């Protein structure tokens, strides 16, 4: 019964051929993998003791916590003590950005990011400006990526942090973390942070030259409220939370061991299927891309060089009306990032890419998961074309 109530079906049609749902808002969140839920249910019922307790029951929880940390470190090629469990990418981003800024203020007060970062990064930088930090917001090209020479030109003697996301959550634009890392490594005082939320488990990812990396696991069929910050061992962070000193003193609060164990399984499954899923989703993206190009009044904002999991396009009609009409047919897409969709109708990401106001206001984002199907893409294209023709 719980599954019937709370899970989106992974199929487009039921046995009678009726439409159930088409969920194309996976960049906002994905459905929970049922095997992860089953593992969580089994674990949480038996190992519920506080991992900080010194009795045998608590020590068992602590043992599972460290096993999960060790597995994640091995999967991502980091050290165990460099894996910090958090509540998600928003907390991880804030801890990385503010933690570095305040810990290394004696080195300098200049920070660099881009104009197209996730709101949890941009708002952290804006808050730091109120504390006297100087922030450079890099422009992006029409494809949504920075010009790497702009990054090098922005670096100053007092620069201490560069934060640039791996994959943009609105357009799927990909930044080359290795190329960025090579620029930054020429300056020993500067740390490199990246929000890898839309990249982890989806596209090939090289984190060798990255110093801090943030992620949320609900983007890859894990739990909401489950995240990780990867932090190199030589970096100190000022904690955001004061308390019992959990997570090596960087993140106080009672550890959610069942979520941590689930996080390890979530990452393992995503990486295990990454290549296969990428190839599948790339075919879906190409099918959608070709179909959108044939619809009058549609302008593609994403590029084929980006992540196939995200396709952004603009329409001549009011996007919110189109999205609502699609919702009535149980087809779910978004106008932009879920974290900023209720604030302004204008996409700051598209504006930074040089799009006109009418395009930035009327953008639609389709985002896939490995559960998405070609049947869903074809039906979406059919319904979208009809809706655009019907709206006056």
SS3 359: helix
Q: How far apart are CA 146 and CA 177, in angstroms?
A: 11
Which residues are within 8 A (CB) of 17 and not within 5 positions of it... i.e. 6 or more apart? none
Q: How far apart are CA 124 and CA 373, in angstroms?
A: 37
Residues in the chain: 392
Which residues are within 8 A (CB) of 355 and not within 5 positions of it... i.e. 6 or more apart? 301, 314, 347, 363
Residues 191 and 213 sit within 8 Å (Cβ to Cβ): no
Rg for the chain (alpha carbons), in Å?
Answer: 21
Q: Which residue of the set 287, 339, 346, 381 is catalytic?
A: 339
DSSP states along 161-204: EEE--SB-TTT--B--HHHHHHHHTTSTT-EEEEE-TTTTTTS-
Q: How far apart are CA 313 and CA 302, in angstroms?
A: 7
Catalytic status, residue 339: yes
Q: Which residues pair with 92 in a beta bridge?
A: none
| Angle CA 8–340–319, to nearest 5 | 70
Catalytic residue ranges:
339
């Amino acid at each position: 019964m719980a599954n019937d109530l709370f899970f989106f079906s992974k199929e487009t049609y039921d046995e009678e051929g009726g439409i159930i749902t088409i969920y194309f808002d996976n960049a906002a969140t994905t459905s929970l993998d049922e095997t992860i839920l089953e593992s969580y249910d089994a674990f949480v019922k038996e190992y519920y003791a506080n991992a900080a307790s010194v009795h045998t029951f608590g020590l068992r929880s602590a043992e599972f916590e460290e096993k999960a940390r060790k597995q994640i470190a091995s999967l991502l090629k980091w050290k165990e003590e460099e894996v910090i469990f958090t509540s998600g990418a928003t907390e991880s981003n804030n801890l990385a950005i503010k933690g570095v800024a305040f810990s290394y203020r004696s080195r300098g007060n200049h920070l660099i990011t881009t104009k197209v970062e996730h709101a949890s990064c941009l708002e952290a930088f804006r808050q730091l400006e109120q504390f006297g930090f100087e922030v450079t917001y890099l422009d992006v090209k029409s494809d949504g990526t920075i010009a790497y020479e702009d990054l090098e030109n922005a670096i100053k003697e007092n620069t201490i942090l560069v934060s640039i996301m791996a994959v943009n959550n609105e357009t799927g634009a990909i930044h080359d973390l290795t190329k960025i890392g090579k620029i930054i490594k020429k300056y020993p005082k500067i740390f490199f942070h990246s929000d890898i939320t839309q990249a982890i488990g989806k596209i090939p990812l090289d984190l060798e030259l990255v110093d801090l990396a943030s992620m949320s696991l609900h983007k890859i069929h894990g739990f909401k409220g489950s995240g990780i910050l990867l932090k190199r061992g030589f970096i100190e962070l000022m904690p955001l939370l004061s308390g019992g000193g959990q997570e090596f003193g960087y993140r106080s609060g009672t550890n959610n061991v069942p979520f941590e164990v689930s996080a390890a399984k979530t990452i393992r499954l995503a990486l295990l299927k990454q290549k296969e899923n990428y190839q599948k989703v790339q075919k879906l993206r190409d099918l959608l891309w070709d179909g959108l190009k044939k619809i009058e009044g549609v302008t593609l904002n994403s590029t084929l060089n980006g992540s196939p999991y995200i396709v952004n396009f603009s329409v001549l009609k009011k996007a919110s009306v189109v999205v609502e009409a699609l919702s009535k047919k149980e087809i779910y897409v978004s106008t932009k990032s879920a974290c900023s969709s209720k604030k302004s109708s204008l996409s700051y990401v598209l504006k930074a890419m040089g799009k006109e106001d009418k395009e930035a206001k009327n953008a639609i984002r389709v985002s896939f998961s490995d559960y998405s199907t070609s049947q869903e893409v074809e039906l979406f294209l059919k319904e979208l074309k009809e809706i655009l023709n019907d709206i006056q």
